[in-house]
């Protein structure tokens, strides 16, 4: 419960910061905290440059590819549990059942999830979290915000984060030493998976902050409505689609969305793989 309380305090601090930083806004209605966000983006990038990226590079270069695949499959199987819960909460019974089937197949025939048997059998994988569930029911995303170490988010998803943490089965793994080692491995494995994409983005983007922000917001909106933008249009007054404006800074969003990682799993120290724990 301490995790939930701490996340709640973070959300409160961010809300206060939104008020205090209004004068620092660039005028983008989706990013009223841009002054704070850019500073935090720079901080996260520095942490990634000094610590996370070098470790992830070594991890990818040293470990055999089948080991890396097994690590990704194992934690992906755990994430399917929370995806199932959120699909069911959203009333998507078929998708929720598919997630349950995936967990059952991969946890047994797939040797505790190390082998993704379900995908080989044609059972689709979904990436759902509680922030998407709130968005599905029309909760506005609110301002864009860059969280310390966790990277891109929105106010809605920040408020939902405590439940995403509670819903992660790995959180209950004992002993704590094994849990902590697994969490670190999970973060490094995910960062390693995005090394090529982030290197390309660093070379291509003139303003990496804007590039990541616009790509993140568009990808997140698409995830909330499972790519069905017409559903977002129907609920435009109160959800993600309604928050999109015609600001010229969003014109690069379609390209950014294809290169910037989608919102979702909790990683640490990288703006470009941020939230990956939330959509995996």
Q: What is the pLDDT of residue 189?
A: 97
Average pLDDT over residues 110-135: 96
Q: Mean pLDDT, the chain, as a whole number?
A: 80
Bridge partner residues of 154 (DSSP): 144
Q: What is the pLDDT of residue 199?
A: 79
Q: What is the pLDDT of residue 101?
A: 98
Q: What is the pLDDT of residue 231?
A: 62
**Stronger pLDDT, 79 or 276, i.e. the higher one:** 79
Helix (H) or strand (E) holding 145: strand 144-147
pLDDT of 253 > 70? The answer is: no
Bridge partner residues of 151 (DSSP): 147
Coil vs helix vs strand at 112? coil
R_g of the chain computed on alpha carbons: 18
- pLDDT bucket at 249, cuts 50 / 70 / 90: very low
pLDDT of 277 > 70? The answer is: no
- pLDDT bucket at 181, cuts 50 / 70 / 90: very high
How many Å apart are CA 46 and CA 140, to the nearest integer?
Answer: 31
pLDDT of 108 > 80? The answer is: yes
**Stronger pLDDT, 194 or 242, i.e. the higher one:** 194
How many Å apart are CA 195 and CA 210, to the nearest integer?
Answer: 20
Record the pTM.
Answer: 0.75
Average pLDDT over residues 162-168: 96
Average pLDDT over residues 165-186: 96
**Stronger pLDDT, 61 or 265, i.e. the higher one:** 61
Q: What is the pLDDT of residue 28?
A: 84
- pLDDT bucket at 150, cuts 50 / 70 / 90: very high
**Stronger pLDDT, 181 or 3, i.e. the higher one:** 181
Specify the range with the lowest mean pLDDT, choosing from 43-57, 149-163, 172-186, 214-228.
214-228
Q: What is the pLDDT of residue 166?
A: 96
263 phi, psi to nearest 5 deg: -65, 135
Average pLDDT over residues 219-242: 63
pLDDT of 126 > 80? The answer is: yes
Helix (H) or strand (E) holding 152: strand 151-154
Q: What is the pLDDT of residue 205?
A: 64
- pLDDT bucket at 9, cuts 50 / 70 / 90: low
How many Å apart are CA 145 and CA 153, to the nearest integer?
Answer: 5
- pLDDT bucket at 275, cuts 50 / 70 / 90: very low
Alpha helical stretches, state H, 63-194? 65-89, 93-108, 117-120, 130-136, 155-166, 176-193
pLDDT of 267 > 90? The answer is: no
């Amino acid at each position: 419960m301490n995790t939930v309380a701490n996340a709640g305090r973070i959300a409160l601090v961010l809300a206060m910061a939104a008020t205090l930083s209004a004068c620092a806004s660039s005028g983008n209605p989706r990013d009223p905290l841009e002054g704070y966000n850019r500073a935090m983006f720079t901080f996260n990038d520095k942490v990634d440059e000094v610590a996370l990226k070098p470790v992830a590079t070594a991890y990818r270069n040293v470990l055999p590819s089948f080991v890396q695949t097994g690590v990704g499959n194992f934690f992906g199987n755990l994430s399917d549990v929370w995806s199932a819960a959120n699909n069911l909460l959203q009333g998507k019974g078929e998708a929720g059942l598919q997630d349950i089937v995936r967990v059952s197949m991969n946890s047994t025939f797939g040797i505790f999830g190390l082998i993704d048997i379900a995908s080989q059998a044609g059972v689709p994988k979904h990436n759902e979290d509680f922030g998407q569930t709130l968005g599905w029911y029309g909760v506005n995303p609110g301002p864009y915000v860059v969280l310390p170490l966790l990277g891109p988010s929105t106010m809605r998803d920040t408020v939902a984060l405590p439940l995403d943490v509670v819903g992660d089965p790995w959180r209950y793994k004992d002993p704590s030493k094994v849990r902590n080692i697994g969490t670190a491995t999970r973060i490094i494995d995910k960062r390693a998976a995005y090394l090529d994409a982030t290197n390309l983005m660093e070379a291509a983007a003139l303003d990496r902050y804007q590039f990541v922000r616009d790509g993140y917001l568009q990808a997140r909106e698409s995830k909330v409505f499972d790519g069905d933008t017409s559903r977002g249009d129907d609920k435009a007054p109160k959800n993600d689609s309604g928050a999109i404006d015609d600001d010229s800074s969003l014109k690069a969003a379609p390209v950014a969305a294809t290169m910037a990682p989608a919102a979702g799993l909790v990683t640490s120290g990288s703006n470009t793989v941020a939230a990956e724990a939330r959509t995996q």
